[in-house]
Structure 1
Amino acid sequence: MLIACTFPDPLSIALSGSDGHLITHYIMGNPNALTDAQIAAVTGYKSRKAFEDAANQAGRTDPVPARQDYPGYVSGVFNAAVPQEVRYHPVNNRTGARPTVYDAARNIYGIDKATGFALRPFDNVGVQYGLAALNGGGITVDQFLDLNEKVGGYDQDANYVPARSPGDLGAILRAQQSGLQLGGNGGLATIPVVDVTGVYNEDTAYHYQWFHFALRERMLAANGDTANHVMWRGNPVPADTAWDMFIRWVAAYKDDKSQAPQRQRVVTHKPRDAVDGCWRSQTDFVAEPQTLSSTPDTTCNSLFPSWTAPRIAAGGPIAGDVMKCTLKPVNPADYSVPFTPDQLNRLRAIFPTGVCDWTQRGVNQTGVVPNGSFGPSPVNLVFDITKS
């Protein structure tokens, strides 16, 4: 697979946008709480503008038409061909079609029988927004507490609510079983994967590099290594060179008629020039491992620095694949800064059931079910909405 403009899946855009959009809501209500530099530190992005563009992608989850919200936010978008009378409206047509990433896949996520809406996998219970900024000295303890106390969550119509959002456990499980959240197992484990994206605008438009590294981290977690994955960065990567390398790789493993497992054949016949690196120009290649970093700690990171996203900046994995975290009790030893007794009590009140333990697998975290059926076929049946 030769990929460009890498995203693990559309759901990752929507979920990271949903985290960010909660923070935009906090900013609207508390405009002087954080400086622009602190907003970038809290959210993981390069700048406030980069954060805002990514956060506004939460509109993909919002069925309410023309919501008045943060500048640039667009919700409830339909193709003009969809008649007005069949479109959802929270007052005038609550049984109408809902243009969200969740409702488009309602046969997989499942349906809330009380409302008819798709069940939602978004969960931010225990997420400590701005944790990296706190531990790095970018924000104070009081700023950290205020943000997490007020950030809240969403209801089924993507309205803000004061409480955190618990994701539906079945929807979380099926998002991964179906591949709506891409897993690193299945087909990705046994084919050449070459990431040659040359879109490296970390300032705007949400095509950010952390998505590339998220894909590779998912493959690493599922398979133990990423020997069948190569990342070339450039502005742009020379397309003909990348295509030639990819085609030689595919042809070589296809020509191997042995009984070895396909993954083994793919790795065995990996071309010598199929190595990580970046292109200074169309003819100048730097061979070195590609890493996610905003600091100039390698040649390629000097040329193509990369930033993260709110949940990674909250301590989560680069893979961005933990939809609902496992919780642990608040422990002051986990922080690089001291809390007063009152601050610690406040933190425990904000997180009464605990905070995310990112060293553990997520709740209902699993891989894709290859060739899984979500009804009506009984072959490899995972879920049948007509029987739920």
Structure 2
Amino acid sequence: MTRRRMDQLARGYAIVYSTANQTRNHYNMWLAEDTARRLKKQFEALYGEPMYTVGVGGSGGAIQQYLFAQNAPGLLDAAIPLYSYPDMVTQTIYAFDCEPLEYFFDVQDADNTRWGDAEERSVIQGLAANSNVNSRFNIISVAASLFDSRYRNRANGATECVEGWRGLVPLVNNPNFVHFFKSFSEDLFDKVHWTHWENLRQFYGAGENGYANTTWDNEGVQYGLKALVNGDISIDTFLKVNASIGGWKAQENQSDEKLWFLNGGLLPVRLSVWSEQNLNTGTIANPAKRSRASLEAINGVYRSGHVFLGDVEIPIVDMRHYLDKKPDMHHSSASFSARERIRRARGHAENQLIWMSHKDYNPLGEALDVIDRWMSNIVENPSKGVVGNRPEDAHDRCFDKKGNVLAAGSEVWNGEWNGLASGKCMREYPIHSTSRQEAGAPITDDVFKCALQPVERALAKGVYGPHTEEITGRIDDLLRIFPTGVCNYNEQDLARPKDQLIPRGIPVKIAGHLIDPDYRQGKVLQGASAEEAEIKSAPVSVPVEGVPEQEL
């Protein structure tokens, strides 16, 4: 840690750090926040109150900064989230789609030669892919192909789903799997449900089966909807992928993983990179069963502050290397997901800058310089607020491999995500999407449980674009695949609490000064639009197992 932060120490910064703020150890944001508070208090007791406190950390460290700024105003005065995500739990929404989709491409639709090119899979997965890199699972797949023919037709290249997320879903969702199982006695291993849900059981709650509840849901999700509308996949492929892909089995019905060496095996005879033994799969004639989330669990993570709502006041420089070509799990679109959540919550996102650079250059020094001047302005003129004190040269920007600024300004990151012509930085470092965005969800990627609409209503609204008439002829297939309806992403998350989760109007303490919060008119989804209301003839019932309908 000291070696990595020598430059900051030389600049006059002090550094406080704890392993309890490493998300490789846990994702309990209450524990992380409590630890950070204690660290800061201890520092102040020893050395006095600092001029300001700025967070610096990547991935899980970035998540903590966004959530601390939202949940604990005054803990951080500024933030430099690196390789950010808005939070951890909303990552699961699209990450859990990865293996079902990879299994579809590799096995269920293996006769379709199109999927032999990894980049072609992005039309449904959304996430980045590169046909010119070798997957880190190639050697394993070659060995497994000696025993299992499913591994003999490997895709050229690699997808983010494989390179970034493979093996992580079981750590969150499979109660029978933990990669460090040798650290525990067999007796203890059998008594514990080894899931993220169980680790945060106090927030997710638990069912009568004794297992912690989960937030993951894909009921009504139309995978590849955008690709269908744009003519990038056929109606047959659209129907096949949605019929084939179900949800993950309930935790009590899951079996151990088959990840070869991670399970202690010597030969890849029991290898399954897709975890298909824990998936619900199907066909057009007999569609797969989708997963339904626990509304109690979703309510719990919202109310406990584990979801980033975007309500943050402090200066933020969201910074990352562009790794989408690798492809790496730290995809660049996550920064824009955070931005849109901030804009939606506050009516603007002028306190957040997005910086992106070539992987060979690290602009952290420049980011600290901007933050230092920004904080100095706030100390000198607290009445001007955060945005009013932003330095004139503090803009969104992008850098090349030598550190040259390729472009800077308020328009450099415009693009499809905000409906504007692509700016120079977006053209240099184009972002990708996710499987849920490709199914029609917003870039915020925070809809746990979509509002459902009958298939007939979706057809009447023209959801399927130029293919509406043709797909109407396949309505029996659609109704069989989506018996409870399809997602209506024009409405907000069905399970999000309706009351105000964060009180507004309370001044925020930044660098020792109380700053009035800067709220402006924002876009808030209140429900169906007037046009939709005319089409909607009756309320859409969304029954959920074990939960009375009125709780929806």
Whether TM exceeds 0.5 here: the answer is yes
Letter in 1 for 2:218: N
Decide whether aligned partners of structure 1 residues 340 and 5 sit closer, same or farther in structure 2, where only a CA change above 3 A counts.
Answer: closer
Which segment drifts farther, 308-317 or 287-296? 287-296
Following superposition, the deviation at residue 79 of structure 1 comes to 6.5
Alpha carbons 1:62, 1:76 under 8 Å: kept: no
Distance 2:85 2:120 in 1: 26
- The percentage of aligned residue pairs carrying the same residue is 26
**One-letter amino acid matched to 1:109:** Y
Letter of the 1:314 partner, please give it: A
Aligned to 2:495: 364
Structure 2 SS opposite 1:11? coil
The alpha-carbon deviation at position 167 of structure 1 amounts to 0.4
Task: Output the CA distance in 1 between the equivalents of 2:215 and 2:379.
Answer: 39
Mapping for residues 252-271 of structure 1, pairs under 5 Å: 252-258=377-383, 265-271=385-391
TM-score normalized with structure 2 length: 0.58
- 2:272 is aligned to none
In 2, Cα distance between the equivalents of 1:225 and 1:175? 25
**Is structure 2 residue 95 aligned with structure 1 residue 17?**
yes
CA displacement at 1:345 relative to structure 2: 2.2
> What amino acid does structure 1 have at the position aligned with 2:440?
G
Equivalent residue for 1:6, pick from 84, 90, 108: 84
1:237-248 alignment, distance < 5 Å: 237-248=362-373
> Which residue of 443, 449, 454 corresponds with 1:324?
449
- CA separation in 2, counterparts of 1:54 and 1:152? 22
Structure 1 residue aligned with 2:399:
279
Change in CA separation of 1:348 and 1:241 when aligned onto 2, cut-off 3 Å:
same
8 Å contact kept, 2:414–2:421: no
Q: Which runs of 5+ in 2 are unaligned?
A: 1-78, 130-157, 255-277, 281-287, 504-552
Mapped to 2, the partners of 1:220 and 1:242 lie a distance apart of 22
Partner of 2:445, secondary structure, is: coil
Q: What is the rounded CA distance, in whole Å, between the counterparts of 1:118 and 1:145 in structure 2? A: 33
CA RMSD for the aligned pairs? 2.4
Change in CA separation of 1:291 and 1:81 when aligned onto 2, cut-off 3 Å: farther
Post-superposition offset of 1:320? 0.5
CA distance in 2 between counterparts of 1:78 and 1:24 reads 26
Please report how far the alpha carbon of residue 329 of structure 1 lies from its aligned counterpart in structure 2 after TM superposition: 2.1
1:64 Cα deviation from its structure 2 partner: 5.1
Alpha-carbon distance in 2 for matches of 1:296, 1:8: 25
Of 131, 136, 141, 2:225 maps to 131
Measure the CA separation in 1 of the matches of 2:326 and 2:123: 14
Deviation at 1:292, TM superposition (A): 5.5
| Deviation for aligned residue 1:30 | 2.8
Q: Structure 1 residue aligned with 2:108, among 15, 29, 53?
A: 29
Structural mapping, 1:56-135, within 5 Å: 56=166, 57-63=168-174, 65=176, 75-78=177-180, 80-87=182-189, 93=190, 96-114=191-209, 116-135=210-229
What is the Cα deviation at residue 104 of structure 1?
1.5
CA contact (8 A) 1:17 1:54 kept: no
Structure 1 residue aligned with 2:162: 52
Give the Cα separation in 2 of the matches to 1:284 and 1:22: 41
Structure 1 gaps, min length 5? 66-74, 88-92, 259-263, 371-388
CA contact (8 A) 2:227 2:438 kept: yes
**Cα distance between partner residues in 2 of 1:313 and 1:257:** 43
Distance 2:382 2:471 in 1: 67
What's 1:210 paired with?
A: 333
Q: 1:237 to 1:147 in 2, by over 3 A?
A: same
Is 2:475 aligned against 1:344?
Answer: yes
Equivalent residue of 2:353, what SS?
Answer: strand
SS for the counterpart of 2:213 is coil
1:229-240 alignment, distance < 5 Å: 229-235=352-358, 236-240=361-365
Where 2:354 maps in the other structure, the secondary structure is strand
Q: Tell me which residue corresponds to 1:170.
A: 296
Deviation at 1:80, TM superposition (A): 4.9
341-350 or 2-11, larger mean C-alpha shift: 341-350
